[in-house]
Structure 1
Amino acid sequence: MTDPQVALLMLGIFIAFVFLGFPIAFTLMALGIGFGYFAYYDPSRMWRGYNRLDEDAGWWDSVSLWVEGFYNNRIFDLFVNQTYTVMSNEVLTAVPLFLFMGYIVERANIVGRLFDTLAVATKNMPGSLGVAALITCALFATATGIVGAVVTLMGLLALPAMLKARYDASFASGIICAGGTLGILIPPSIMLIVYAASSGVSIVRLYAAALLPGLVLVGLYLVYIIARAMLNPKLAPRPTKEEVPDVPFLRLAWMLATSFLPLALLIFSVLGSILFGLATPTEAAAIGALGGMVLAVAYGAMSFERLRESVYLTVRTTAMVCWLFVGSYVFSAVFSYLGGEHVIAEFVKSFDLTPFQFLIMAQLIIFLLGWPLEWSEIIIIFVPIFLPLLPVFGIDPLFFGVLVALNLQTSFLTPPMAMSAYYLKGIAPPHIQLTQIFAGVLPYVGMVFMAMALMYAYPQIVFYLPELFYGAR
């Protein structure tokens, strides 16, 4: 077999192992080291030690030199260097800090107050509880970026309230599932940090580029909720005074000041310090982590047990992301050395695609990969395959990254592998069927595609803020 054929075999084995359920990080490392040993094999290096043996050498010397010769392969140097590169990556330093902020905020008992306050503030709007749930989801998801945590907690808080208010089960479920995924798009997003580290795109420009598309998607969701509630009031009846009581204006202002304002200020301080150049993403993440702890103390939710649990979850998730990077770097280095990237590039070029057709093909592949894989695996492993092709088609990696972030919303919402639906089903009342949740999330998949179409038709949605803050590239 030629080296490019070996590279394609390597990729095929990896995809097969993924579908068999093997741990992806360790599969990447094992295949990278295994095929890398073949790629970097040098007989002269391996057997060099045996020249030092004489006729009287004992078996122990022979074994020691054999072991030394076996490990005298550049793949082991590559593995060590790539591990060090990941651990010293300044962009990735922000990941544990943002994760810690999210886990602390999740435990600060602020979300329940925020939902109750917004339910009162929007009670005269069509679909008021749905609007309140979506805005709460958007703020909470932005602060945490952890889809499972947002969907689960909002499912426990908002879903019972909407069902009690006679909301249609599918309609209510779709709002929570769609709102819970917004954190991987709206800055400060962990996913965008990972994409920046994989692609070399400035995380500051990426945050600025993703802000307007995120708000556009939230706007589309809100328009859909209000329009459906107006066209079919049975889906979302107006709440009674017993369900959402009248509150005096001053009392409502105090509720907003103690629930909405603190979380909004935390998000604005973190995001604003990045966008206005007052702090690096890592420094802003540290501010956010400190702010999250201050909020937890202010709401009487800080305890040693909650702090310990937040640290543990942060370390566990960060380790997963970093080892995925290590495995991906080793795998991609060997894959490229064997000529795999060149084969794929030539294969794609042979179709003579236009930039639009290439974007459609790439986004379709990412959409399909979203069924069996998590967003982290798609960004770290598969997106780098497309990155070398972007200059060929004249596509800005900044624009491509925001498109991918939008597209990955669907990986949590598209049946049969819609993870948001499964998160919600796990804590929903027993009478809520999984098929009802699937039916509720499907319209939001259509709105994600609509937002992607708007981005392609009006690219300034992506480029306006980066150019405004930092100038044209």
Structure 2
Amino acid sequence: MSYELITLLMFSSLMVMLLTGQRVFGAIGFVAAAAALLLWGDGAVEMPFNASFQVLNWYPLLTLPLFIYMGYMLAESGIANDLYRMFHVWMGPVRGGLALGTVGLMVVISAMNGLSVAGMAIGASVALPELLKRGYDKVMVTGVIQAGSSLGILIPPSVVLVLYAMIARQPVLQLWLAGVLPGLLMASLFALYIYVRCRRNPELGPPLPKEERDLITWAEKFRLLRAGIAPFVIFATMMGLFLTGITSLVESSAVGATGATLAALIKRRLTWRVLDDTMRQTLSITCMFMFIILAALCFGAVYDGLGAKNAIRVLMLETWDLTPWEILIMMLVSFVILGMFLDDTAMLVIVAPLYIPLVLSMGFSPIWFGVLYVITCQVAYITPPFGYNLFLMRAMAPPEITLVDIYRSIVPFVGIMLVTIAIIMVFPQIALWLPEMYSGR
């Protein structure tokens, strides 16, 4: 059986399994096990066993539950709500100010959590009802929350970049630094779009009424500024210790988790309910990640065991005679397409081992490629038919926001993300400047 036919059978079977509504890790694991038994026979039973040990040997994976715990602790204890109130008060007088404040909130939540799930939950439960109550356009603000929450997988401490670093064998710190400026660039483009639209059409995002603004004293405004101190102190301490080499990656994540717990304790919000909810959410998300990684490693082991990695390189570089830039664009397009059906973690563990050697052979930076990969994941998060954030928004949005509204809302933000990809492809130093400056220190 040819490599091309095996590739077609494995990936088409995977798509069919996913369309049946099975859990992602179950679909991937089943296809991997079936293909292994068909191709290698009874000896293939060793593959999942070896894959599980490979997961256990990935020491940086210990950061996953700790970063997830940090984000949920700050969210469940209400510190994230305080942050939104701060942005609400300070940005309210501006047209579209609450939407701009929501983008700011998403950036801060991203820096606390490293995932899009927490940002989406906070945005949909805290920001969305307030925006709708203030008369903001429901389509625009729905898109703001979906797009803003996707920043969590780009701005450090991005969990996805930690996984990419392990697979690509690249320094996590270099990838985190590479994600800072592209993440801020994308957030700035989101904010610029909101500001321009609301300036041209004030009905989309009316400012806070003057009567309400007059009720908020300067003393209260400055008191609310203190709400943002705790997350910034935690993030600065965690990253500062890591950047200076005092702590390792895992130790830094432990510092962040401890800092979030202490912040909740100091604010007298560390109740048993908060602790129980945080632990349950952390366990649920961490187990989901681990099962997907395990299943995807089995899938990748079967596919790579056939020599398919070299087959892809020969096909693109020699058979099709494509230029490096054409191959790069094809890879990014394939990420967007796969991301419509697969979780970003599953997609990363399956496809990245095939693409990264090809990226290196073409002379591209794997750090730069990692940033491009994450942004294409962000695009996939908010594009039909199986965009992750679309389903989360549908589950959490009030009844007046329909599925059509949700789909319409993401159109301009997908365009902004594609523009960001183009900018970073043309100007790779946007992603590489900070890592190069730090490594050359």
Shared fold (TM-score, shorter chain, > 0.5):
yes
Partner residue in 2 for 1:219? 188
Partner residue in 2 for 1:46? none
Partner residue in 2 for 1:342? 310
Match of 1:275 among 230, 243, 250: 243
Q: Relative to structure 1, is the Cα distance of residues 159 and 33 closer, same or farther in structure 2, using a 3 angstrom cutoff?
A: closer
**Residues 117, 252 of structure 1: 8 Å contact kept:** yes
Normalised TM-score (structure 2):
0.92
Q: CA deviation at 1:30?
A: 3.8
User: Does structure 1 residue 85 correspond to structure 2 residue 71?
Assistant: no
Q: CA deviation at 1:244?
A: 4.3
SS in 2 for 1:274: helix
TM-superposition CA deviations, 1:420-468 (whole Å, max 9, x none):
2332333333222222232222111111111111111111111111111
Partner residue in 1 for 2:271? 303
Partner residue in 1 for 2:131? 162
Amino acid of the structure 2 residue aligned with 1:91: P
Partner residue in 2 for 1:460? 429
**Structure ID, larger Rg:** 1
Q: Relative to structure 1, is the Cα distance of residues 164 and 328 closer, same or farther in structure 2, using a 3 angstrom cutoff?
A: closer
**Residues 354, 393 of structure 1: 8 Å contact kept:** no
Q: How does 1:111-126 map to 2 (within 5 A)?
A: 111-126=80-95
Partner residue in 1 for 2:391? 422
TM-superposition CA deviations, 1:347-381 (whole Å, max 9, x none):
22222222221121111111112212221221122
**Residues 170, 436 of structure 1: 8 Å contact kept:** yes
Partner residue in 2 for 1:358? 327
**Residues 107, 301 of structure 1: 8 Å contact kept:** no
**Residues 382, 410 of structure 2: 8 Å contact kept:** yes
User: Does structure 1 residue 319 correspond to structure 2 residue 273?
Assistant: no
SS in 2 for 1:125: coil
TM-superposition CA deviations, 1:208-245 (whole Å, max 9, x none):
11111111111111111111111111211121045545
Q: Aligned residue pairs: how many?
A: 440
Structure 1 portions without partners, runs of 5+: 42-69
Partner residue in 1 for 2:374? 405
Q: Relative to structure 1, is the Cα distance of residues 419 and 299 closer, same or farther in structure 2, using a 3 angstrom cutoff?
A: same
TM-superposition CA deviations, 1:232-265 (whole Å, max 9, x none):
11211121045545433333222101x1111122
TM-superposition CA deviations, 1:10-42 (whole Å, max 9, x none):
34433332333333323444443444345555x
Partner residue in 2 for 1:285? 253
Amino acid of the structure 2 residue aligned with 1:367: V
Structure with higher helix content: 2
Q: How does 1:73-112 map to 2 (within 5 A)?
A: 73=43, 75-112=44-81
**Residues 39, 337 of structure 1: 8 Å contact kept:** no
SS in 1 for 2:395: helix
**Residues 163, 169 of structure 1: 8 Å contact kept:** yes
Structure 2 portions without partners, runs of 5+: none
Amino acid of the structure 2 residue aligned with 1:310: T
**Residues 106, 144 of structure 1: 8 Å contact kept:** no
Give distance in 2, aligned partners of 1:255 and 1:232: 30
Deviates more, 1:284-293 or 1:262-271: 262-271
**Residues 177, 420 of structure 1: 8 Å contact kept:** yes
Give distance in 2, aligned partners of 1:365 and 1:227: 33
Normalised TM-score (structure 1):
0.87
Amino acid of the structure 1 residue aligned with 2:284: R
Partner residue in 2 for 1:64? none
Partner residue in 1 for 2:20? 20
Q: Relative to structure 1, is the Cα distance of residues 7 and 134 closer, same or farther in structure 2, using a 3 angstrom cutoff?
A: closer
**Residues 77, 274 of structure 2: 8 Å contact kept:** no
TM-superposition CA deviations, 1:136-181 (whole Å, max 9, x none):
1221233123423322332222222222222111122221121111
**Residues 178, 444 of structure 1: 8 Å contact kept:** yes
User: Does structure 1 residue 237 correspond to structure 2 residue 206?
Assistant: yes
TM-superposition CA deviations, 1:38-58 (whole Å, max 9, x none):
5555xxxxxxxxxxxxxxxxx
Give distance in 2, aligned partners of 1:245 and 1:132: 19
Q: How does 1:30-45 map to 2 (within 5 A)?
A: 30-37=30-37, 39-40=39-40
Partner residue in 1 for 2:169? 200
Match of 2:178 among 186, 200, 209: 209
Q: CA deviation at 1:190?
A: 1.0
Identity %, equivalent residues: 28
Deviates more, 1:84-93 or 1:248-257: 248-257
Q: Relative to structure 1, is the Cα distance of residues 156 and 27 closer, same or farther in structure 2, using a 3 angstrom cutoff?
A: closer
Partner residue in 2 for 1:371? 340
Amino acid of the structure 1 residue aligned with 2:116: V
Q: Relative to structure 1, is the Cα distance of residues 192 and 160 closer, same or farther in structure 2, using a 3 angstrom cutoff?
A: same
Amino acid of the structure 2 residue aligned with 1:275: L
SS in 2 for 1:21: coil
SS in 1 for 2:66: helix
**Residues 26, 327 of structure 1: 8 Å contact kept:** yes
TM-superposition CA deviations, 1:46-77 (whole Å, max 9, x none):
xxxxxxxxxxxxxxxxxxxxxxxx6xx3x344
User: Does structure 1 residue 151 correspond to structure 2 residue 120?
Assistant: yes
SS in 2 for 1:408: helix
Amino acid of the structure 2 residue aligned with 1:150: G
Q: Relative to structure 1, is the Cα distance of residues 423 and 22 closer, same or farther in structure 2, using a 3 angstrom cutoff?
A: closer
Give distance in 2, aligned partners of 1:19 and 1:164: 37
Partner residue in 2 for 1:249? 218
Q: CA deviation at 1:409?
A: 1.1
**Residues 209, 466 of structure 1: 8 Å contact kept:** yes
Give distance in 1, aligned partners of 2:358 and 2:129: 48
Amino acid of the structure 2 residue aligned with 1:320: M
**Residues 105, 292 of structure 1: 8 Å contact kept:** yes
Partner residue in 2 for 1:47? none
**Residues 109, 299 of structure 1: 8 Å contact kept:** no
Amino acid of the structure 1 residue aligned with 2:346: E
Give distance in 2, aligned partners of 1:427 and 1:31: 32
Q: Relative to structure 1, is the Cα distance of residues 26 and 163 closer, same or farther in structure 2, using a 3 angstrom cutoff?
A: closer
Give distance in 2, aligned partners of 1:427 and 1:319: 22
Amino acid of the structure 2 residue aligned with 1:434: L
